[in-house]
């Protein structure tokens, strides 16, 4: 996912951090989690999967203001999910991962490079 986001950032001549912030802003403004998007747990926190497949953590820098907003959103989501069995899923890492997941899966899914045409032996 990181490599794809990096390629996306490069294609728009932007830095990965800037793109991540843009995604996060969109995620918090549009609030897709209120319309059916579940909060996903990052792979690196799914201990068994992380060990098996060597998932690594993706870090990015946020401004103080943005960090505050993310924390507020986490609290809001945790309060909303308190009654459900999945309340332990809500964490700052999960919210950030879900924002990136939302973008890569639904907003800007990757395209498959067109296969090369096999022209056979024309010589």
Partner 1 sequence: MSETLLQIPLQELQVDPNQPRRELESIHSDTEFRTLQGLAESITRIGILQPLRVRKLAQGSYQILSGHRRFEAAKLAQKEAVPCIVVECSDKPGDVRLAQITENVQRKAMTSSELAWSVEELVKAGLSQAEVAHKLGVSESQISVLARISRLSALVSQAFHSGQIKSPRAAYDLDRLAPELQRQVLGEGSPDKRSSIGQKDVQLIKDSWKFNSQRKSHPFVAPALPPKEFTALEEALKAEIDDNYDPQSDLDSFFGPDRPLDSVQELHQAAPAAPALVRLPRLKLSQARRLIQLICYAERRPEPKFSSPDRDPSADELTRWLSSALKALR
Q: Locate 37 and state its tokens.
A: 């998007």
Of 51, 54, 59, 116, which lies in the binding site for partner 1, with binding defined by CB under 8 A? 116
Which CB atom, from 71 or from 110, has the smaller least distance to partner 1? 110
Rg (CA), the chain: 18
Q: Is 41 in the site for partner 1 (CB under 8 A)?
A: yes
Q: How many residues does the chain have?
A: 123
Cα dihedral 57, 19, 63, 42 in deg (nearest 10): -30
User: Could you tell me how many residues of this chain bind partner 1 (CB under 8 A)?
Assistant: 40
The span of 25-33, 64-72, 75-83 binding partner 1 (CB under 8 A) equals 25-33
Q: Which one, of 115, 120, 100, 114, lies nearest residue 3 by Cα?
A: 100
Residues that bind partner 1 (CB under 8 A): 1, 3-4, 7-8, 10-14, 26, 29-30, 32, 35-38, 40-41, 43, 46, 101, 104-117, 119, 122-123
């Amino acid at each position: 996912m990181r490599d794809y986001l990096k390629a996306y950032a490069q294609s728009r001549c932007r830095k990965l951090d800037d793109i991540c912030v843009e995604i996060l802003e969109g995620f918090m403004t549009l609030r897709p989690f209120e319309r059916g998007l579940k909060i996903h747990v990052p792979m690196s926190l799914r201990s068994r999967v992380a060990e098996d497949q060597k998932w690594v953590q993706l870090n990015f820098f946020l401004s103080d203001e943005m960090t505050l907003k993310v924390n507020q959103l986490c609290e809001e989501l945790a309060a909303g999910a308190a009654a459900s069995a999945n309340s332990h899923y809500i964490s700052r890492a999960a919210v950030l991962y879900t924002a990136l997941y939302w973008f890569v899966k639904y907003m800007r899914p990757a395209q498959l490079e067109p296969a090369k045409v096999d022209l056979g032996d024309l010589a």
